[in-house]
Chains A and B, each alone.
Chain A
Amino acid sequence: MALFMAPWLIGFLVFIAYPMLATLYYSFTKYNLLTDPIWVGTFNYRFMWHDQLFWLAIRNTLWLVVFLVPIQVLFSISAAVVLTRPKRGASVYRTIFFLPSMVPIVAAALGFAFLLNPAGPIDHILGLLHLPRPLWFEDPQWAKPGLLLLGLWGVGQIMIIFLAALLDVPAQLYEAAELEGAGPWQRFRSVTLPMISPVIFFSLVIGVIDGFQYFTEAYITAGGRDHVGEPQGSTLMYGVRLYQEGFQNLHLGYAAAMAWVLFLLIMLCTAVLIRTSDRWVHYQGGFR
């Protein structure tokens, strides 16, 4: 039995358990890779409490989680519902909607930085339509909405999962609802949503986890290591701040402490979601 489990066990110990425990140890040290770690107890955690940039990163990340995740789920469901309609060319439309999610995230971020450049094509079109032209990633008020747009562009994978869930809803439920006199919105609310609620739950959990770990898009659109958090700290996400402290400033002990706080935060949010799922997630088999 142990022999059969060995590959998984070795992988778990080497790639999960050891890094986690090592990070936990480092979080109680000052460590810069060049000298041995120095034990400092809870200093890093206490420092975090008073670190303005830590709290700024928390606020920025929470903004993203609160706005991006629900909007992504709503957008994905909407797109999936639309994609259930076509009888001809459905596979072509699904491919078109899915393709953006296959673009490497760095390339996508660079592409959006170009598109949303104040002198770029989007603002040019807005100007032709005599609409306000935001400065997007040059304006702290518009940088996060710009990241929202980037996040919506890449929802292909979640959308495909929603599409599969929508196609899996038994037709007889819709027929029964129609016979009862339910209109399209009532059928959507009372049949579709409950039936796809497990997928919504899954999307929310994954979205929250991804949201708290948000890094690449914020780092790239701000302009890289010399422009971290720009403009005016608006794109300083938790992951970016952690990276900055760990790999730019070489405060690996502090970065390790931040990593553990992030882990606990994600665990807490996930636990809350799971706890509340009893009330609104319905499993076809009746299991919970």
Chain B
Amino acid sequence: MKRSLIGIAAIALVAAACTGGNSNQGPVQTVNPSASHAPVTLKVWGFYTEHELANFTEVVQTFEDKYPWITVDMVPGKQFGDIVRGINAGTPIDASVDVGPDNVAKLCASGGWQDLTSYMQADNVDFDATFPASVKSYTNYEGKQCALPMLTDAFGLYYNKDLLADAGYTDPPTTLEELAEMAKALTTYNADGSIKVLGFNPLSNFYENPNMYVGNAWGATWYNDDGSSAFGTDPAWKQAFLWDKDLADAIGYDKLVQFKSDVGGDNSEWNEQHAFQVGRLALLYDGEWRTGYDPEAMAKLNFGTAPFPMADDKTDLYGSGLIGGTVVGIPSTAEHPSEAWLFVKELTTNADFLSTLANKLYNVPTTIETLADPTLAADDHFKTFLDIAANSNSRFRPLTTLGTGDADLEAAFLVKWEAGKIANLQQGLTDLATQIDREMQLG
């Protein structure tokens, strides 16, 4: 019995010893690009695949041409989980590109991605002079700048000018009250009561609508100063969810659910059946990529873009919106951190790289210089999103080590609320806050 216990303990110790950990960051060294160097191959893990990968590789090629002693070995299709497992296994990853900022806090807090502050200081990269204030919200966690932004999404309103004109509207809504009124006025029904043309779909599980309820339009806060969830205490959340349900009930909740199915469900967001593109949706909440995602279909539409409306008591925030996008970092397992920093710096601050990539991928660039690029701003539809990204009130939701955990819990709650499964909204919001606070305890 004693021997077997010792054996079990030994195995447990081996298990503990086999766990990964991050290496401590030592003093940083940057590279003098004009000096001669021995050849270096950088391993870069990124999420890009297919045509995005092809576009990204083209830009990387210009980096290799500029610094011929550096070869970039792109490893595509790598998501956050892959990056984490790679770091845990000690895989030498010099730089990694993550699709979004949800997990920046985890990477910053754990040291999985290195703090770039020392690199920036050594290379005289002034964050505030280079990047708009809005992007700091999703690249810096508790003072650690472990990520830099490389292109972002910006969310706003698309509107079908013809459908609006038919109903007597010439301008898009700027307040949520106006949006609700227009949504109801623009909705038409078939003989059987189903929706023929929908003014606006407020349901949170439709296309990009989950991002609408991140709180920007109501100026809602996610966390109190003490770090506890603010869902139960900030009245803006109750205001947001009541607006959602009131509009959904006015149009008809069941009819909205049926409408989503009629237009092809979630898949229709990415194919030719998209409700806005086929003229069955007058007002759409979406990101900047929609302007160029299906150019043929969008060319047939007489549409406009505008910032998303704000709550009636938050009109001073009009012009801002939700932003958040690709982030780049240097993992703790980087074999060539100095060259990796050169790569990260060029990718995130070089105006030519960023403008080229922004044009190719129809994403918003993330430096002050490129946001003012006249070639990008030439497209009026796209310019709306450049302005949103440049607005100092635009932000991502607060970073926490929960990653998407808090947003997932909110989304699940919202779906139930919209379906009428929550009898008391305030109590429900308080319970949601408690649930998020408890989830935080898991670390």
Give the residues in chain B near A37, CB-CB below 8 Å.
Answer: 16, 19
Interface residues of A in 1-43 (CB under 8 A from B): 17-18, 21-22, 24-26, 30-38, 43
Bound together, the chains give a CA A30 to CA B435 distance in angstroms of 18
The segment from A92-100, A205-213, A224-232, A277-285 found at the interface with B is A224-232
Residues of A within 8 A of B443 (CB): 30, 32, 38, 251
Distance of A37 Cα from B22 Cα, bound (Å): 12
The answer to whether A231 touches B84, judged by C-beta atoms less than 8 angstroms apart, is no
Please tell me if the beta carbons of A138 and B265 are within 8 angstroms of each other in the complex.
Answer: yes
Q: Does A250 contact B (CB under 8 A)?
A: yes
| A227 and B442 contact, Cβ closer than 8 Å, known pairs A18-B15, A36-B19 | no
Bound together, the chains give a CA A244 to CA B442 distance in angstroms of 13
CB pair B421–A232 under 8 Å, yes or no, is yes
A58 within 8 A of B: no
**Does B106 lie within 8 Å of A21, measured CB to CB?**
no
Question: B90-119 toward A: CB 8 Å interface, digit per residue (1/0)?
Answer: 000000000000000011001110000000
* A213→B18 CA distance, assembly (Å): 27
Please choose the segment from A45-53, A59-67, A158-166 that sits at the chain B interface, where 4 or more of its residues have CB less than 8 A away: A45-53
In the complex, chain A residues whose CB is within 8 Å of the CB of B15: 18, 21-22, 25-26
A253 to B442, alpha carbons, bound, how many Å? 9
Q: Is the CB of A248 within 8 A of B415?
A: no
Q: From known contacts A35-B111, A117-B265, infer whether A254 and B442 are also in contact, taking CB-CB under 8 Å.
A: yes
**A residues within 8 A CB of B165?**
none
| Per-position 1/0 for B409-439, Cβ under 8 A of A | 0001001100101000000000000010011
Choose one: A35, A139, A140; the contact of B21 (CB below 8 Å). Answer: A35
Q: Cα distance A26–B442 when bound, in Å?
A: 13
Q: Which residue of B lies closest to A50 (CB)?
A: B438
A30 to B8, CA, bound (A): 21
Q: Which residues of B contact A18 (CB under 8 A)?
A: 11, 14-15
Min CB distance, A58 to chain B, in Å?
16
A231 to chain B, nearest CB (A): 7
Residues of chain B lying within 8 A (CB to CB) of residue A38: 443
Instruction: Report if B20 contacts A (CB, 8 A).
Output: yes
Please report the C-alpha to C-alpha distance between residue A30 and residue B415 in the assembled complex, in whole angstroms: 30
Contact in complex: B403, A118 (CB < 8 Å): no
Q: Shortest CB–CB separation between residue A57 and chain B, in angstroms?
A: 12
Contact B419 A35 (CB under 8 A): no
- Chain B residues 100-143 with CB under 8 Å of chain A are 106-107, 110-112
- CA–CA, A91 and B252, complex, Å: 53
Contact for B106 among A24, A47, A250, CB less than 8 A: A250
What residue in chain B is nearest A20 (Cβ atoms)? B11
Residue of A139, A228, A249 contacting most chain B CB atoms (<10 Å): A249
Also in contact, A32 and B421, with CB within 8 A (given A17-B11, A118-B258, A119-B264) = no
Residues in A whose Cβ lies below 8 Å from that of B260: 138
B14 nearest CB neighbor, chain A only: A18
B49 contacts A by Cβ under 8 Å: no
B residues in contact with A229, CB < 8 Å: 412
**Which residue on chain B has the smallest CB distance to residue A26?**
B15
A275 and B412 alpha carbons, distance in the complex (Å): 40
A223 CB within 8 Å of chain B: yes
Q: Which of B85, B257, B265, B442 has the most CB of A within 10 A?
A: B442
Closest B residue, CB atoms, query A31: B19
Interface contact A34-B265, CB-CB below 8 Å: no
B261–A21 CB distance below 8 A: no
Taking a contact as CB atoms closer than 8 A, the residue among A33, A119, A227 that contacts B88 in the complex is A33
Q: Flag whether B12 is at the interface (Cβ < 8 A).
A: yes
Q: Does A233 contact B (CB under 8 A)?
A: yes
Bound: A43/B441 CA distance, A: 10
Alpha-carbon separation in the docked complex, A140 to B412 (Å): 13
Which of B8, B81, B261 contacts A117 (CB under 8 A)?
A: B261
Complex: A233 Cα to B14 Cα, angstroms: 38
B contacts with A: majority SS: helix
Chain B residues near A247: list those with CB within 8 A: 81
> In chain A, residues 249-269, which have Cβ atoms closer than 8 Å to a Cβ of chain B?
249-251, 253-254
Indicate if A135 sits at the interface (CB-CB under 8 A).
yes
Expressed in whole angstroms, the Cα–Cα distance for A200 and B412 within the complex equals 39
Contact across chains for A135 and B405 when beta carbons are under 8 A apart: no
Q: Which residues of B contact A140 (CB under 8 A)?
A: 419
Contacts of B419 in A (CB 8 A): 140, 232
- B272 at interface, CB cutoff 8 A: no
A25-B12, A34-B107, A135-B257 in contact; A248/B19 too (CB < 8 A)?
Answer: no
Among candidates B205, B261, B442, residue contacting A119 with C-beta atoms closer than 8 Å: B261
The complex places the Cα of A228 from the Cα of B87 at a distance, in Å, of 26
- Give Cα A22 to B18, complex, Å: 10
Q: If the complex has contacts A33-B84, A33-B85, are A228 and B408 also in contact, measured as CB distance less than 8 A?
A: yes
Residues on A with C-beta less than 8 A from B262 are 118-119
| Assembled-state Cα–Cα distance A248/B405 (Å) | 8
B266 touches A250 (CB 8 A): no
A21/B22 contact (C-beta < 8 A), A32-B106, A119-B261 known:
no
Mark interface residues in B158-201 (1 if CB within 8 Å of A CB, else 0): 00000000000000000000000000000000000000000000
Chain B hits for A230, CB < 8 A: 205, 415
Query: Within 8 Å CB of B12, what residues of A?
Result: 21-22, 24-25
B377 to chain A, nearest CB (A): 32
Report the bound CA distance from A228 to B112 in whole Å. 26
* Min C-beta distance of A144 to chain B, whole Å: 16
B266: nearest chain-A partner, CB-CB: A223
Q: Is the CB of A32 within 8 A of B110?
A: yes
Chain A residues with Cβ below 8 Å from B110 are 32, 34-35
Query: B22 near A34 (CB under 8 angstroms)?
Result: yes
Interface residue? B70 (CB, 8 A): no
User: Mask for B7-37, Cβ within 8 A of A = 1, else 0?
Assistant: 0100110111011111000000000000000
Inter-chain CA distance A47–B437, complex, in Å, is 12
Provide the residues of chain A in CB contact with B61, threshold 8 Å. none
Known pairs A32-B84, A244-B408; list 12 more (Cβ under 8 Å). Answer: A17-B11, A18-B11, A21-B8, A33-B88, A34-B111, A34-B112, A47-B441, A47-B442, A118-B265, A119-B262, A233-B412, A250-B106
List, sorted by A's number, 8 A–B pairs whose CB atoms are closer than 8 Å: A22-B15, A22-B18, A32-B106, A32-B110, A33-B88, A117-B261, A233-B412, A249-B439
- A-B interface, 6 closest residue pairs, ranked by CB to CB distance from nearest: A34-B110, A118-B261, A22-B15, A34-B112, A30-B443, A33-B88
Residues of chain B touching chain A, judged by Cβ–Cβ distance below 8 Å, are: 8, 11-12, 14-16, 18-22, 81, 84-85, 87-88, 106-107, 110-112, 205, 257-258, 260-262, 264-266, 402-405, 408, 412, 415-416, 419, 421, 435, 438-439, 441-443
